[in-house]
Structure 1
Amino acid sequence: MTGGIGLDAIRALPKAELHLHVEGTLEPQLAFALAQRNGVALPFASVEDLRARYDFTDLQSFLDLYYACMAVLRTRKDFADLAAAYLARAHADGVRHVEMFFDPQVHLGNGIDVDTVIDGLRDALDDARVRYGMTGGLILCFVRDLPVDSARAVLESVAHRAGDLIGVGLDSAEVGYPPHLFAEVYARAAELGLRRVAHAGEEGPAAYVTESLDVLGVERIDHGIRCLEDPALVERLARERIPLTVCPLSNVRLRAVDAIEAHPIRALLDAGVVATVNSDDPAYFGGYVGDNYAALALTDAEAVLLARNSIEASFASDARKAELLAALEAATR
């Protein structure tokens, strides 16, 4: 696509980012720096060799590389440095509130205690509040292609730290792992007072979106673009104001959408769905949130609508939402 609102104008719009895997912000240079710091051998010859492997054929080909790189994250400082690098980029893109996903089961598999992960990420978020005035928090994601008992165990292991989290999510390979498998885990999360979201309708069918809503009780759908295959579902999403956290560049890189020109974001907006734009795993998919807005060649009005949707769809307090919406209005006068 060509034309549309420019990147500088996009960055001037206060916005929230709601679909961001912090491990997916691990740039090759930082991966090698952390590998050297921690004495971890990466199976890549160089930064350039690693970057050259970012030609994914599907979600699984991405996940294989993604998990290999996560092995360099070992200490509280590693997680703080990772998140701090992302937060600086996000702030430059106009992000004023962020709800950051993390995958504790993978880190546990690498021998890293969950408290180490949470503490490091919280350090970076606390610093960003002071440094940039950013707000936000953490969403613990369950890896859906690992055993459900593993998800249940990790949730219980952080029950005493529920106050340090915003909510829970469900990510990784979607096909063959329907949402209902995690019904009991999500019910427990609700008992702990955690908000609930889930990846659905990216590579999986529209029925997974419906199941996430009806069985898991989620308040927001991550991706969700295949909802367009079910007109009744689209009407429901619009009527009930259930947000979708859409990731355009990710959808293209993982072949969920053929090309950015064919991305269904406008069809969602035209249907009245509360769609938002996010970066997913930006180090791997060719751009942070500003790049995702820019790639869509949006009109000024579309960009403002998407920024407004991101704020309204967030789990920020009502007072913080009002503050951010006022800042958005001031930026567009």
Structure 2
Amino acid sequence: MTEFAPTLTEKTAAAPKAELHIHIEGSLEPELIFRLAERNGVKLAYNSIDALRAAYAFTDLQSFLDIYYAGASVLLTEQDFYDMTMAYCERALADNVVHTEIFFDPQTHTERGVAIDVVVAGIERALADAEQRGLSSKLILCFLRHLPEEDALATFDAALPLFDRYRHRLIGVGLDSSERGHPPSKFERVFAKARAKGLKLVAHAGEEGPPSYVYEALDLLKVDRVDHGVRSIEDPALVTRLADTRVALTVCPLSNLKLCVFDDLTKHTLKALLDEGVAVTVNSDDPAYFGGYVNENYRATVEALQLTDAEVYTIIRNSFEASFVTDAERDALIARLDAHWHANAIT
């Protein structure tokens, strides 16, 4: 009986991996949006699932955010947040994600009168259930950068009891939403408060914004990871710094394509950054809107950039090395990856 070696795409899909850039509200599929809308008596601007999907023709980040916030309007109860999070966990488990670090946007919900305690309780309950099935996870509270820093400071203060109550899961803060015109420096004070509390720090920078935003995230916010960061390639000194310090970039290829950061995936900067020694990772960002969860992002990137077996291994390993886990947990995750990679050698 002849045994056939897997293709690199098959090997990658089956590999244990971490996802470090996933907005839980961005995993809200149209089918679930309509189900929650019916359950909660929310009137949507679209009369069918197909009509909603047809609106996913984005020209930039803001055109996406307009749809994204409208979709989130159906989330009202703890059970809604549980259902949304569990639906993502099912997808992650199917893609062999063994560790995930999830972003959530409390301001999207509190401005609609949904208490932050309700949001976190629903998400936490789903993540605890998924953990019993082999998916470890952390949770990162993100501030909306198009709002004033005063709003972020108020959100942080309101969340302080939750950071203590859910300290096993809620481990950091981030910065997302519209990048243009909202530099990281705008949020220096709230990040300083989070840093003083010992939280992990991440921020979106260098997606639509310039490399200078990445510098601000590093020097002013003092982030542990940079989300996106794909425009860093425009500044050789920044690339060298990222490579030397091993500050990881949580890259989202299909998101970048869908939001017109690149007009063709073959032009993506991920491989160039990888070649320079930058710790790039592959993630799905807002998969319900951008056409694919993490395995689809890997597949499309491997094919478009013609990545090698060794390059894909490095990217997946980077995802574990950049994870906010203990050293022992990280070693165990990398050992699982190594066992899979060696057992499925491509000759």
Q: What range describes the TM-score normalised by the shorter chain of this pair?
A: over 0.9
Contact 1:140 1:169 in 2 (8 A): yes
Query: What is the CA distance between 1:299 and its match in structure 2?
Result: 2.5
Q: Map 1:289-300 to 2 at 5 A.
A: 289-296=294-301, 297=303, 298-300=307-309
C-alpha distance in 1, partners of 2:325/2:236? Answer: 30
Residue in 1 that maps onto 2:90:
88
Residue in 1 that maps onto 2:3:
none
Residue in 1 that maps onto 2:313:
304
C-alpha distance in 1, partners of 2:221/2:18? Answer: 24
Contact 1:20 1:280 in 2 (8 A): yes
Residue in 2 that maps onto 1:319:
328
Residue in 2 that maps onto 1:139:
140
Contact 2:206 2:229 in 1 (8 A): yes
Contact 2:204 2:229 in 1 (8 A): yes
C-alpha distance in 2, partners of 1:78/1:91? Answer: 20
User: What per-residue deviation string (whole Å, max 9, x for no partner) do you get for residues 164-189 of structure 1?
Assistant: 21100000000111111111100101
C-alpha distance in 1, partners of 2:265/2:7? Answer: 16
Alignment partner of 1:98: what SS?
strand
User: What per-residue deviation string (whole Å, max 9, x for no partner) do you get for residues 62-92 of structure 1?
Assistant: 0000000100001111101101010111111
Q: Does 1:24 align with 2:26?
A: yes
C-alpha distance in 1, partners of 2:103/2:7? Answer: 29
Contact 1:10 1:94 in 2 (8 A): no
Residue in 2 that maps onto 1:332:
341
Query: What is the CA distance between 1:161 and its match in structure 2?
Result: 1.6
C-alpha distance in 1, partners of 2:8/2:27? Answer: 23
Contact 1:10 1:93 in 2 (8 A): no
Residue 10 of structure 2, aligned match among 8, 11, 15:
8
Give the TM-score taking structure 2 as reference length.
0.93
Q: Does 1:99 align with 2:104?
A: no
Residue in 1 that maps onto 2:159:
158
Give the TM-score taking structure 1 as reference length.
0.97
Query: What is the CA distance between 1:123 and its match in structure 2?
Result: 0.5
Alignment partner of 1:316: what SS?
coil
Query: What is the CA distance between 1:328 and its match in structure 2?
Result: 0.3
C-alpha distance in 2, partners of 1:124/1:319? Answer: 25
Q: Does 1:185 align with 2:193?
A: no
Q: Does 1:54 align with 2:45?
A: no
C-alpha distance in 2, partners of 1:125/1:5? Answer: 32
User: What per-residue deviation string (whole Å, max 9, x for no partner) do you get for residues 149-176 of structure 1?
Assistant: 1100000001112142110000000011
Identical aligned pairs, as a percentage? 55
Query: What is the CA distance between 1:300 and its match in structure 2?
Result: 2.1
Count of aligned positions: 329
Higher relative contact order (CA 8 A, sep 6+): 1
- Can you give the 5+ residue segments of structure 2 that lack an aligned partner in the other structure? 1-5, 343-347
Contact 1:276 1:307 in 2 (8 A): yes
